[in-house]
Chains A and B, each alone.
Chain A
Amino acid sequence: MSQSSTPLLSVRDLETKFFTDDGVVDAVSNVSFDIGQREILGVVGESGSGKSVTSLSVLRLVSAPGKITGGEILWKGRDLLKLSNAEMRKIRGDDIAMIFQEPMTSLNPLYTVGNHIGEALLLHQGLKGQEARARAIQALEEVGIRDAANRIDAYPHQLSGGMRQRVMIAIALSCNPDLLIADEPTTALDVTVQAKILDLMRKLRDEREMSILLITHNMGIVAEMCDRVAVMHRGKIVEMATVQDIFANPRHPYTQQLLKSIPTLESAPKTKLATVSWHPTDEQKANSGLVEIAPGHAVSAWAAAA
């Protein structure tokens, strides 16, 4: 039997729908996954896959017309969907923190970097005044911001994209969360800046024993960062495996096609890329629950049988 390993986060049959004027959208359907301690789980998908809504659902940040309509989100054994708003507010920031793709829109332009971190420290750790300022400077230094004692008084617009993302990470980490949800954290950044931010995230995971739920469409980032990967398509997980398996033995046609269609530095010049043409037939849609095909490797039932 496996030892300890109650997963830190266990999402079971999550269902989130959007009730719009044009009809109901099944943004997330029957999504289940676990994240263990110190694990980086990648959730990969294109627009409309439901990957972002999944992460927002974990933190119960889905707003109208979206609504979580089913499932359980077990955090250290407690179902987050059953918590009161006050209890949930304690979880956010303190236990589970989140960083987003566009740091400029996530940061309040009227507040300094210090104000941002200070707010988190006050809300979750009750720190004030000099103590909060000292802790904030430390948080900035931990994410590699030089001259932190001065940068702490800067406004978001005075910082570069990479710096703003570091500030977002500093805010997220200031209260020592056990899980960091990062939604496309480097998509808006230059590739050299991205490399540094990814290195930073890995370093922090190692130092703090933190888990990361990393949402991305970039398979290169997945290969570099993730321990396990869930591939999503139109609200469902179609395949889930270790990062080695997903690249070496993709079983679902969507995963296979996605991997083949990515241009890389190894791509042949002036040669057409493979394209993604798979979409589910009605029969496949009806048979889409995940089944295990190898230890740690699950795929849609119809693809497992194929």
Chain B
Amino acid sequence: MKPLVRVQDLTKHFASKSGMLGKAGEVVKAVDGVSFDIFEGEVLGLVGESGSGKSTTGRLILRLLDPTSGTVTFDDKDVFGLKKNDLRELRKQMQIVFQDPYGAFNPRMTVGSIIGEALELRGLRGHEKSKEVGRFLEMVQMPSSIANRYPHEFSGGQRQRIGIARALAVEPKFIVADEPVSALDVSTQAEIVNLLLDLQKRLSLTMLFISHDLSVVKVLCDRVAVMQYGKLVEVADSQTLFNEPQMEYTKELLAAIPIPDPTRARRKAA
């Protein structure tokens, strides 16, 4: 089966000018020769700890960053080779949902305008556009009446729903979700996870789900890729990765997760 997204030898280096990332002149290999495929209709989890390169990888795929080397093919098109107009067209097929629901919106735009902007890309205007805004809000279980309100009036979980509505409004094939539930409370997290499960199935979305939380990944993802220090450590289908991890780092990650059951002690430290 041909993949929808093919990442090959993707590399991104950041040069450090000052002492923050390393000595001046040193290079940080944020993404270091990463290759994997994402198949249509699947949810691929991309997990790793801070500094693993997972977020950078997600941004590179959408060409929100330019790579140092490597290629990303989307639907047979070379993402990094596209000219501006072609890229703009391609971008209608791929969207992103961000981690921080508080920083993801222009605070001076109403919810309706925010989603409306995306709809205009599909050529919608006026009454038709308003109707569609309502439809997408309802898809994320928010009342269409909120279109006239501003993002700051809503909680983190509600804003995340709005962010998802915005991403869906363009009717993309592919969504990169970068830690979409990490900043949310436990109860809100459960709701958003359920929403994503539902929408992904209904709309047959292809998703790259970036997270440091393996438990959430287990619920949402078909396959999982593990990154560490810019490199891909292991890729497997969910069942295999969680039950029979091959690589030491994967085992370490799984073992480190505290289990909500006092009768089962986590592997004790030496």
Contact = CB atoms under 8 A, between A and B. Distances in A.
A244 B262 CA distance: 6
Given A192-B49, A220-B260, A265 B190 contact: no
Contact of B20 (A157, A161, A268): A157
B187 A275 contact: yes
B32 to A, nearest CB: 19
A243 interface: yes
Given A157-B20, A258-B186, A275-B187, A265 B214 contact: yes
Q: In the complex, which range does the number of interface residues on chain A fall in?
A: 35 or more
Contact of A273 (B194, B212, B221, B269): B194
Nearest to A157: B20
Interface stretch (A9-17, A75-83, A91-99, A221-229): A221-229
Given A263-B219, A276-B186, A196 B269 contact: yes
B182 to A, nearest CB: 10
Contact of A265 (B50, B185, B191, B257): B257
Contacts of B216: 263
Nearest to B201: A270
A192 B252 contact: yes
A190 B50 contact: yes
B52 to A, nearest CB: 9
A247 B261 contact: yes
Contacts of A273: 190, 193-194, 219
A38 interface: no
A263 B193 contact: yes
Contacts of A270: 197, 219-220, 222
Nearest to A200: B269
B199 interface: no
Q: Which of B186, B242, B263 gathers the greatest number of chain A CB atoms within 10 Å?
A: B186
Contacts of A161: 50
Interface string A259-303: 101111101111111111000000000000000000000000000
Interface string B240-262: 00100000000011111111111
A264 B260 contact: yes
Given A192-B252, A263-B219, A223 B190 contact: no
A188 to B, nearest CB: 9
Interface in B181-228: 185-187, 189-191, 193-194, 197-198, 212-216, 218-222
Contacts of A272: 193-194, 197-198
B188 to A, nearest CB: 8
Contacts of B266: 195, 224
Contacts of A110: none
Given A190-B50, A192-B49, A247-B261, A264 B187 contact: no
A262 B219 contact: no
Q: Which of A199, A223, A268, A269 gathers the greatest number of chain B CB atoms within 10 Å?
A: A269
Contact of B262 (A157, A190, A217, A247): A247
B106 interface: no
Contacts of A1: none
A158 B258 CA distance: 28
B260 A247 contact: yes
B215 A264 contact: yes
Given A276-B186, A276-B190, A263 B263 contact: no
Contacts of B186: 46, 217, 219, 258, 261-262, 276
Contact of B260 (A157, A194, A219, A271): A219
B1 interface: no
A199 B253 CA distance: 16
A192 B215 contact: no
B238 interface: yes
A215 to B, nearest CB: 14
B230 to A, nearest CB: 15
Contacts of B189: 261, 263
A77 B256 CA distance: 39
A221 B186 CA distance: 14
B211 to A, nearest CB: 11
A191 interface: yes
Nearest to A275: B190
A74 interface: no
Given A263-B215, A263-B216, A195 B193 contact: no
A246 B107 CA distance: 42
A198 B194 CA distance: 30
A158 B19 CA distance: 9
Please name the 10 residue pairs, one residue from A and one from B, whose CB atoms are nearest each other, closest first.
A220-B258, A276-B187, A190-B49, A219-B260, A263-B215, A199-B269, A46-B185, A261-B190, A195-B256, A273-B190
16 contacts: A46-B186, A190-B50, A193-B49, A195-B258, A218-B258, A220-B260, A224-B259, A224-B262, A224-B265, A224-B266, A244-B262, A247-B260, A258-B187, A263-B218, A270-B197, A276-B187
Given A263-B215, A269-B239, A272-B193, 8 more contacts: A194-B258, A196-B269, A199-B269, A218-B258, A244-B262, A257-B187, A265-B254, A265-B257
